[in-house]
């Protein structure tokens, strides 16, 4: 009798689920299952699990699955999703403490309601704070690292560490946060004395998103990073990519750096379309586009 991987895992207080569907959680609505899904009850549960999980088991950390394409073959090993205990927000003076599983839009909303500036650009971003820090998410001239004070993380060996902003190198759509760190909390500097209308700025950002992005379609946002001095969408349009299709995947007519699921796409449709777009851009512009969407799992 062959033992399941779950039989080798430590007993936890949180959720352990075999063959867990991830497509329903994914913003693309595609992808295979997690061999094991672990949702820790709290940070102590997470630390205990990581200290006792066998070394030969692959660990993958996911957030909102809003910037991740999970391939059709699913993800081997254990996928960790942070649960409710990692979705708390505390405001004290001009510092906001945020759990890593908090949605970026929710954080922006809390800051706006408290009449605190700096974080308006997060309104409408679909990901979590943990994921946003890992990729240094940003838009409209701001990046999340601009306002970071420090963050807490757990290593995959189960040790809690703290880092200040100066400890980590942040670049465009990239951070130097090591892959073996699971971000659990972060602290951001906000501004209670701004010289503009916070609500007006937020409303302007929301309207810009509605006008320029296919918000009514399943997508994971920008497919490719902007090359230095260039706009990825302009390169894709120049290459004739707007409206291209493979299976149920399509380059958005509204914003051609967005690939959308028209309803019946597979992860392979989306990835193949992205690769075809990148090849056309290379042929027409001589520029190699770099994926902004993270691709995980077996094809």
The residues carrying an active-site annotation are 173, 222, 292
CA angle 83–86–90, rounded 5-degree value = 145
Residues 6+ apart with CB under 8 A from 100: 63, 82, 86, 128, 129, 130, 133, 182, 183, 184, 185, 186
Rounded to 10 degrees, the C-alpha dihedral 35/40/46/51 comes to: -40
Question: What separation, in Å, do the N-terminal and C-terminal C-alpha atoms of the chain show?
Answer: 28
SS3 call for 128: strand
Question: Hey, what are 250's tokens?
Answer: 């399509």
| Cβ atoms 72, 30 nearer than 8 A | yes
Residues 6+ apart with CB under 8 A from 262: 217, 245, 248, 249, 250
| Cβ atoms 31, 73 nearer than 8 A | no
Spatial CA neighbour of 156 closest among 189, 179, 136, 132: 179
Spatial CA neighbour of 102 closest among 73, 144, 53: 144
| Cβ atoms 225, 292 nearer than 8 A | yes
Residues 6+ apart with CB under 8 A from 104: 122, 123, 125, 126, 127, 128, 129, 132, 137
């Amino acid at each position: 009798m062959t033992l399941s991987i779950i039989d080798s895992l430590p007993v936890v207080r949180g959720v352990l689920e075999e063959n867990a569907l991830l497509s329903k959680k994914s913003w693309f609505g595609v992808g295979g299952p997690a061999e094991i899904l672990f949702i820790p009850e709290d940070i102590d549960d997470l630390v205990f699990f990581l200290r006792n999980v066998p070394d030969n088991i692959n660990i993958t950390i996911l957030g909102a699955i809003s910037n991740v394409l999970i391939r059709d073959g699913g993800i081997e090993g254990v996928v960790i999703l942070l649960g409710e205990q990692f979705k708390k927000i505390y405001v004290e003076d001009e510092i906001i403490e945020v759990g890593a599983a908090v949605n970026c839009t929710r954080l922006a909303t809390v800051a706006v309601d408290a009449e605190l500036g700096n974080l308006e650009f997060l309104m409408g971003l679909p990901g979590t704070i943990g994921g946003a820090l890992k990729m240094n998410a940003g838009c409209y001239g701001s990046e999340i690292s601009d306002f970071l004070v420090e963050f807490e993380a757990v290593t995959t060996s189960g040790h809690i560490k703290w880092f200040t902003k100066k400890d980590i190198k942040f670049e465009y759509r990239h951070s130097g946060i090591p892959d073996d760190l699971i971000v659990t909390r972060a602290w951001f500097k906000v501004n209670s004395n701004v010289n503009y209308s916070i609500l007006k700025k937020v409303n302007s950002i929301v309207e810009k998103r509605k006008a320029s992005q296919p918000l009514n379609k399943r997508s994971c946002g920008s497919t490719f990073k902007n090359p230095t001095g260039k706009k990825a969408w302009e390169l894709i349009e120049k290459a004739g990519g707007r409206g291209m299709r493979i299976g149920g995947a399509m380059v958005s007519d509204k914003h051609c750096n967005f690939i959308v699921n028209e309803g019946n796409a597979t992860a392979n449709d989306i990835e193949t379309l992205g690769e075809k777009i990148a090849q056309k851009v290379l042929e027409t512009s001589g520029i190699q586009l770099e994926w902004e969407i993270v691709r995980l799992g077996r094809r």
